[in-house]
Amino acid sequence: MKKDCWDKTKIIVEIILLIVIVWYGNVINNTLKQKELNVKMIEVAVKILTTKPAKEPDHLREWAIDILDKYSETPLPDKVKQELKTRSIVKYLTTQSGDILTTQSGDKIIIE
Protein backbone atom coordinates (compact mmCIF):
# COMPACT_ATOMS: atom_id res chain seq x y z
CA MET A 1 0.00 0.00 0.00
CA LYS A 2 1.37 3.36 -1.01
CA LYS A 3 1.73 6.07 1.66
CA ASP A 4 0.14 9.37 0.85
CA CYS A 5 1.31 12.81 1.99
CA TRP A 6 -0.79 12.72 5.19
CA ASP A 7 0.67 9.38 6.31
CA LYS A 8 4.20 10.69 5.84
CA THR A 9 3.35 13.90 7.69
CA LYS A 10 1.87 11.91 10.58
CA ILE A 11 5.06 9.85 10.90
CA ILE A 12 7.26 12.97 10.84
CA VAL A 13 5.07 14.71 13.44
CA GLU A 14 5.21 11.63 15.71
CA ILE A 15 9.00 11.53 15.46
CA ILE A 16 9.29 15.24 16.21
CA LEU A 17 6.88 14.87 19.14
CA LEU A 18 8.92 11.97 20.54
CA ILE A 19 12.11 14.04 20.30
CA VAL A 20 10.45 16.99 22.07
CA ILE A 21 9.11 14.73 24.87
CA VAL A 22 12.54 13.15 25.43
CA TRP A 23 14.22 16.57 25.41
CA TYR A 24 11.68 18.04 27.84
CA GLY A 25 12.03 15.03 30.16
CA ASN A 26 15.78 15.56 30.17
CA VAL A 27 15.34 19.25 31.02
CA ILE A 28 13.05 18.38 33.95
CA ASN A 29 15.45 15.69 35.17
CA ASN A 30 18.42 18.08 35.08
CA THR A 31 16.42 20.73 36.93
CA LEU A 32 15.49 18.27 39.67
CA LYS A 33 19.10 17.13 40.01
CA GLN A 34 20.24 20.76 40.33
CA LYS A 35 17.61 21.44 43.02
CA GLU A 36 18.77 18.34 44.90
CA LEU A 37 22.36 19.52 44.70
CA ASN A 38 21.31 22.95 46.00
CA VAL A 39 19.62 21.31 49.00
CA LYS A 40 22.76 19.27 49.74
CA MET A 41 24.90 22.40 49.57
CA ILE A 42 22.55 24.17 51.99
CA GLU A 43 22.76 21.20 54.37
CA VAL A 44 26.58 21.35 54.33
CA ALA A 45 26.52 25.11 54.93
CA VAL A 46 24.08 24.78 57.84
CA LYS A 47 26.23 22.09 59.47
CA ILE A 48 29.25 24.38 59.24
CA LEU A 49 27.27 27.32 60.63
CA THR A 50 26.01 25.32 63.64
CA THR A 51 29.53 25.15 65.02
CA LYS A 52 30.86 27.80 67.34
CA PRO A 53 32.69 30.48 65.33
CA ALA A 54 36.45 30.84 65.77
CA LYS A 55 37.84 34.07 67.20
CA GLU A 56 39.97 34.69 64.11
CA PRO A 57 38.48 35.10 60.63
CA ASP A 58 36.99 31.79 59.51
CA HIS A 59 37.09 31.41 55.73
CA LEU A 60 35.10 28.18 55.80
CA ARG A 61 32.34 29.94 57.72
CA GLU A 62 32.28 32.79 55.21
CA TRP A 63 32.07 30.23 52.40
CA ALA A 64 29.12 28.55 54.16
CA ILE A 65 27.35 31.91 54.52
CA ASP A 66 27.85 32.58 50.80
CA ILE A 67 26.52 29.10 49.93
CA LEU A 68 23.48 29.55 52.17
CA ASP A 69 22.77 32.92 50.60
CA LYS A 70 23.28 31.67 47.04
CA TYR A 71 21.21 28.48 47.18
CA SER A 72 18.36 29.49 49.48
CA GLU A 73 15.07 30.65 47.96
CA THR A 74 15.29 34.03 49.69
CA PRO A 75 18.59 35.86 50.09
CA LEU A 76 19.95 36.48 53.57
CA PRO A 77 19.79 40.06 54.81
CA ASP A 78 23.22 41.67 55.25
CA LYS A 79 22.63 41.98 59.00
CA VAL A 80 22.10 38.21 59.29
CA LYS A 81 25.22 37.51 57.23
CA GLN A 82 27.27 39.67 59.58
CA GLU A 83 25.79 37.97 62.67
CA LEU A 84 26.47 34.50 61.28
CA LYS A 85 30.17 35.34 61.09
CA THR A 86 30.25 35.59 64.88
CA ARG A 87 27.28 33.46 66.02
CA SER A 88 26.01 29.97 65.47
CA ILE A 89 22.96 29.51 63.26
CA VAL A 90 21.31 27.62 66.13
CA LYS A 91 20.24 31.03 67.45
CA TYR A 92 17.99 31.40 64.42
CA LEU A 93 16.45 27.94 64.82
CA THR A 94 15.22 28.47 68.39
CA THR A 95 12.56 30.72 69.85
CA GLN A 96 13.38 33.54 72.25
CA SER A 97 12.64 31.23 75.19
CA GLY A 98 15.10 28.66 73.81
CA ASP A 99 12.51 26.19 72.52
CA ILE A 100 13.41 24.35 69.34
CA LEU A 101 11.44 25.49 66.32
CA THR A 102 9.17 22.98 64.66
CA THR A 103 7.85 22.52 61.15
CA GLN A 104 4.19 23.14 60.32
CA SER A 105 3.48 19.46 60.88
CA GLY A 106 4.97 19.66 64.40
CA ASP A 107 8.24 17.85 63.66
CA LYS A 108 11.27 19.27 65.49
CA ILE A 109 14.00 20.88 63.43
CA ILE A 110 17.05 18.92 64.49
CA ILE A 111 20.61 19.84 63.62
CA GLU A 112 23.16 17.08 64.04
- Chain-centroid distance of CA 42 in Å reads 6
pLDDT higher than 90, residue 24: yes
Give the tens place of pLDDT for each residue, 43-82.
Answer: 999 888 888 887 777 889 999 999 988 988 888 888 888 8
How far is the C-alpha of 47 from the C-alpha of 74, rounded, in Å? 19
Which one has a higher pLDDT value, 57 or 11? 11
Q: How far is 23 from 99, CA to CA, in rounded Å?
A: 48
Q: What is the pLDDT of residues 73-107, one digit of tens each?
A: 888 888 888 888 887 776 555 555 555 555 555 55
What is the C-alpha R_g of the chain?
24
* Helix orientation angle between 59-71 and 5-49, rounded to the nearest 10 degrees: 140
- The domain limits of the chain are 5-93
